[in-house]
Structures are given as C-alpha cells and as structure tokens.
C-alpha cells in the first residue's frame, strides 16, 4: 500500500493554532459553494428579492402622503423616498435569517456535524450570508434606482463626502447586526420554540432601527430609547450618513457606538456559545 494515502499522517496541521491563510481558504470555498447554491435556486432568490422591495414601497407611498407638500420630522416627500431607498439597500446588506434556522438545526440535530468540525460554525453562516447579499444586490440596486427615478428621490445631499464615510458605517453595521442576531439565534439552545422571540426582536428592529420611519419622525422618548439600543447603529445610522444628515463629530460618535456594541455583542456571543454548546443535547442527531 502507498505510504501516503489513507495512512494516518505523522505530522498533522495544528488545527488549534489560528491560521489566517487556512481561514481565507475556507472562506473562499464556502463562499463559492453558497453562490453555487443560490444560483441553483435563483427562482427562489428572485422571489425573496421581490419581497424585499415591497415593504419600502409601502412606506414610501405612506410617508409621501403624510409629508404632502411640506415636511415631517425634517423630511420632504422626496427625501422620504431617498431615505427608504437607501434603507432598503442597507437592510438588505445587514439582515440575517439564521435565527429562523437555528430552531430547525437544533431540533433535527443538523447542528451536530457543524460542531464536530474544527472551525466555528459562525464562519459558514457569514459566508452564506455574504453570498446571498452579493447576489441579491444584482436585483436590489437596479430596483432602488428604478424606484428612485419613478418616485423622484431627493438625493441632493449625497456626494463623495457622504459616500466615503458611509462605507465603514455600512461594514460596521453588517458586523454589528450579524453578531447581535446570531446571539439571538443561540436562544434556540434554551427554548425549543423561538419564533415568538424572533418576531418580537424583528418588531423592535423595525421601529428602533428606523425601517418603519426615520428616527426623527418618532416621538422624543422613543428616539432617546433608540439611541441606547444597538438597532439604529446597524440601520438608520449608515443611511443618515449616506444622505448627508450626519456630519463631523457626529459620524465619529456613531462609529464609536457601532464599535462599542460590536464588542459587547461579540463578548456576549462567546459567552453564550460556550454555555449553549454545553447545553446542546444533540437530539435526533
């Protein structure tokens, strides 16, 4: 028999040692795989993207009517259009769906194979998430332009000076929302039915994140509460930066809030993960 082949190798890679190259090669493979899966199910992806467009369209129609010829919360009708368009793109880039999947993963034992690999399952989810987002942009961006033209979006505040600070705000928002919602997903280790808690969280995100309306339109007390939650930092903040509604120190303060929440979320995630895996009872697996 060949010396290599099946024979257990004498020297094994130290999998416990962090290797950026190894992680990069995993991300490459896993991302390509997720793209392939999404392409295979392009019909379903197209429908999901279509669904993504419906909610902002409804909000645009409603808030344009509310604003009429004047202003509401500092927004004219056409500025509302711009706000909801950019929000649509930011929401698409930051949303995750894994909390809806975790219950199934745990109940069916689909989590077991993931736990036996010498890599944290979160990396696979990140790749899956990124692949869907990148592919989805092919539908979301042209749709945003089209809606903007049809509804005459007012993008007069947007320029290189707002797009450049928008990019880090968007990336931080993606990381933040992913980390927070993956924490939420881990609740499935304690509760077997997590749909209710997910729905509650989704409602809070819609209001405090600024999906339903710009925060400036909300009552004062709600704005105050919102600022102390992670929600606006993963949605409304990058939108406002893009539209030129935040400037100077305000932007830096926003980055700091994003980073602070990211650190909190990652710390919580590490703690929850340790407890969750202790608890895992590998049912059905």
Partner 1 sequence: MTAAITVTELGKTYVVPEREGGVRAALVALVRRRTREVKAVAEVSFRIEPGEIVGFLGPNGAGKTTTLKMLAGLLHPTTGTADVLGYTPWRRDRDYLGRMSLIMGQRNQLHWDIPVLDSFRLNQAIFRIPPAEFRVRLDELVQLLELEELLRKPVRNLSLGERMKCEIAGSLLHAPAVLFLDEPTIGLDVAMQRRIRSFIAEYNFRTGACVMLTSHYMADVEALCRRVIVIHQGRLLYDGDLAGLVQRFAAHKTITVELEEGAKVAESVAAGLVHGAQVERTATGFTVRVPKTETPAVASRLLAALPIADLTIEEPPVDQVIEKVFAAPTSEVDRDG
Closest CB to partner 1 among 119 and 141? Answer: 119
Is 28 a binder of partner 1 (CB under 8 A)? yes
Near partner 1 by CB under 8 A, which window of 12-20, 154-162, 181-189, 247-255? 12-20
Q: Is 271 in the site for partner 1 (CB under 8 A)?
A: no
Taking CB under 8 A as the criterion, which residues in 112-131 touch partner 1?
112-113, 115-119
Residues numbered 137 to 196 that lie near partner 1 (CB under 8 A) are none
Compute how many residues bind partner 1; rule: CB under 8 A: 40
Burial class (CB in 10 A: 0-12, 13-18, 19+), 164: exposed
285 contacts partner 1 (rule: CB under 8 A): yes
Q: Choose, by CB under 8 A, the member of 69, 149, 248, 278 that binds partner 1.
A: 278
The answer to whether the CB of 99 falls within 8 A of the CB of 181 is yes
With CB under 8 A as the contact rule, which of the stretches 13-21, 44-52, 61-69, 97-105 interacts with partner 1?
13-21
Of 37-45, 63-71, 175-183, 256-264, the segment contacting partner 1 by CB under 8 A is: 37-45
Smallest gap from residue 22 Cβ to partner 1 (A) = 5
Question: According to CB under 8 A, which one of 37, 164, 203, 204 is a site residue for partner 1?
Answer: 37
Q: Which of 65, 195, 224, 277 binds partner 1 (CB under 8 A)?
A: 277
Contact assessment for residue 258 and residue 176, using Cβ atoms and an 8 Å cutoff:
yes
Q: Are 126 and 178 a contacting pair, CB within 8 Å?
A: yes
Q: In this structure, are residues 78 and 153 in contact, taking their beta carbons and an 8 Å threshold?
A: yes
Q: Which residues bind partner 1 (CB under 8 A)?
A: 1-2, 4-9, 12-16, 19, 22, 25-26, 28-30, 33, 36-37, 40-41, 109-110, 112-113, 115-119, 277-278, 280-282, 285
């Amino acid at each position: 028999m060949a010396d290599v082949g099946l024979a257990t190798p004498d020297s094994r890679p130290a999998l416990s040692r962090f290797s950026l190259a190894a992680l990069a090669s995993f991300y490459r493979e896993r991302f390509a795989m997720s793209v392939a899966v999404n392409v295979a199910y392009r019909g379903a992806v197209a429908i999901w993207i279509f669904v993504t467009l419906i909610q902002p369209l409804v909000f645009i129609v409603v808030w344009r009517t509310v604003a009429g010829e004047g202003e509401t919360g500092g927004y004219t009708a056409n500025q509302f259009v711009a706000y909801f368009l950019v929000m649509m793109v930011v929401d698409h880039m930051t949303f995750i769906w894994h909390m809806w999947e975790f219950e199934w993963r745990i109940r069916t034992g689909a989590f077991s194979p993931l736990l036996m690999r010498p890599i944290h399952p979160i990396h696979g989810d990140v790749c899956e998430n990124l692949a869907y987002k990148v592919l989805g942009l092919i539908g979301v961006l042209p749709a945003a332009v089209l809606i903007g033209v049809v509804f005459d979006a007012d993008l007069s505040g947007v320029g290189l000076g707002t797009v450049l600070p928008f990019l880090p705000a968007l990336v931080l928002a993606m990381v933040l929302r992913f980390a927070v919602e993956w924490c939420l997903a881990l609740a499935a280790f304690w509760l077997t039915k997590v749909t209710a808690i997910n729905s509650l969280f989704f409602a809070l995100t819609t209001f405090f994140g600024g999906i339903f309306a710009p925060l400036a339109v909300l009552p004062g007390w709600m704005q105050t509460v919102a600022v102390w939650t992670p929600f606006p930092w993963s949605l409304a903040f990058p939108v406002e930066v893009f539209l030129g509604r935040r400037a100077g120190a305000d932007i830096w303060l926003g980055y700091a809030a994003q980073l602070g929440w990211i650190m909190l979320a990652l710390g919580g995630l590490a703690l929850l993960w340790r407890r969750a895996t202790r608890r895992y009872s590998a049912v059905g697996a």
